[in-house]
Chain A
């Protein structure tokens, strides 16, 4: 699936969009290409130094216009790089070698409070969800007795929320830990 909308702009919370956009506009620094480590894990500290600020690669289009929050198209990035930042959280996008884009949402202290994915292949949820994988796995097993395995999955466990939807070749989903969401962030407006 080559043309599904991977590059759909991230919705940012409107109250903070202006701040985020300002950062995008001001910090269009040359890309600092980091080694591509395994991405970080939900609920754990990010692997990326919280002091690293990389917004866009030189020459990449960063469309900034009021009312349509946007950031450097993750599809153009092949390494891990924080792509957007606000005072309340940061987003780090990674395009996996199978073309799926994984986004990690980092609190100011660098903890991954949410992850999302979009692309042709479901990412490795074992490593992405970490200790929350068991909650997901339990819910997925239970769901299988009710719904087709090809239909969307929602998980609302204690302090863990996950949604997985899409179809073959076009997966999309997110997971977050409510207790880790920074104060002032409306999680449902942060996630795609």
Chain B
């Protein structure tokens, strides 16, 4: 979100108290009736998990003044090297549980000599707005905190050596080539899926993800290509020597008015260390090979609204709570239907349920986006917006505030607790 600075002056000091369930800490949700919370902004909130399997994560203004974006710092090295001339540490990388694989802008890598297949494999990541990230697939040692994914495929977005675009990648919108267009230096995709594409890309060249240069010596044309699993973009956490069966997103609670900065922890592994035990958590199983969907039954007493969405997912890469109220009680929207702008804070309750029969109750609230954007906060727990689908419920980053959420990787067991893919709350 771009904030015209004039709108920020004197904002964030609203005195009204509001009922709100803004995430409750420790996996709770503040109680069924919602908890009273301040609508004024605070400077920062923090929580931290100690351990060698932890990557610090934060929500702040980042490079582009966008709200509700979770960032981390990532180090990539030419495989086998650890010296500074063969490594780069890149900050402001978006932590995204909705995609798979590390993607870094070439501008953040300052000519680090990373290489991949020969001829070079290229990757197209398409976004919902038609924009796309195009670039070479290279091998790198990826360090997250103190854990290393050795010789792991990643993408260099806007690699200047590979400017020949595949038309079916570029025909829906704009190339993401800069920090300002991405709002980050890259994307750390740590979803429950190990690869960005999977088996279809092994056998089908027209897969829409992978392309290959027309020759070893040049790349005047990028042709559709198969890509074997081991060459596809891979969730680097799955490549760790240990703590590789899942992760836990731990973020602090924040009041309705939000915070200018938030600090938390990305803990690797499920049940592998003293600091990542899932004991007592509710495991919400999702379909293996699927899209990470659970069911969400959602209601708002004040609106007389209730609905059921079969395609609900938890995604740190979405910057709000996105769902449709159109079928029952349309919420006012603003910013060209980008966000909800209700006249007052609106409380919702939801039940997430999964194919293993487990369920978990969640309270959340949605406030007026105009009000939120005019505050000095970048972590905004009550930001929501509409989607066109009546089936989808995109639980973006606000869902994670005040919780610790386990994400179990597809096919990876966590002892007796269960086998991924799952969420555990």
Contacts and interface: CB of A to CB of B under 8 A. Distances in A.
A172 B337 contact: no
Contacts of A156: 336-337
Interface in B89-104: 94, 96, 98-100
Contact of A151 (B128, B171, B200, B311): B128
A165 B388 contact: yes
B149 to A, nearest CB: 19
A166 to B, nearest CB: 7
Contacts of A151: 128, 317-320, 322, 385, 394, 396
Contacts, number: 187
Contacts of A192: 389
Given A154-B387, A168-B196, A171-B128, A145 B207 contact: no
A182 B41 CA distance: 50
B127 A149 contact: yes
Contacts of B268: none
B317 A150 contact: yes
Given A125-B172, A136-B130, A149-B182, A172 B394 contact: no
Q: Interface on chain B toward A: helix, strand, loop, or mixed SS?
A: loop
Interface of B: 1-2, 66, 68-69, 94, 96, 98-100, 125-131, 168, 171-174, 176, 181-183, 189, 191, 193, 196-200, 204, 206-209, 287, 289-293, 310-311, 313, 315, 317-320, 322, 326, 333, 335-339, 385-389, 391-392, 394, 396
A137 interface: yes
Given A97-B206, A98-B207, A146-B1, A172 B318 contact: no
Given A149-B183, A168-B100, 7 more contacts: A1-B198, A122-B128, A144-B181, A148-B318, A155-B337, A168-B196, A172-B391
B173 A1 contact: no
Interface residues of A, number: 53
A140 B129 contact: yes
A82 interface: no
Contact of A140 (B96, B131, B317, B396): B131
B326 to A, nearest CB: 8
Contact of B291 (A98, A122, A124, A170): A170
A4 B130 contact: no
14 contacts: A98-B206, A98-B207, A100-B208, A127-B171, A144-B129, A145-B1, A146-B2, A147-B339, A151-B318, A151-B319, A151-B394, A165-B387, A169-B197, A192-B389
- Residue in B1, B127, B183 with the greatest tally of chain A CB atoms within 10 Å: B127
Contact of A152 (B128, B172, B208): B128
A120 interface: yes
Contact of A154 (B100, B206, B310, B336): B336
B131 A149 contact: yes
B2 A148 contact: no
Interface string A151-177: 111111000001111111111111000
Contacts of B200: 2, 98-99, 120
A150 B130 CA distance: 10
Given A4-B291, A140-B173, A168-B191, A124 B168 contact: yes
Given A125-B130, A137-B173, A142-B336, A169 B196 contact: yes
B2 A164 contact: no
Nearest to B310: A5
Contacts of A121: 126, 207-209
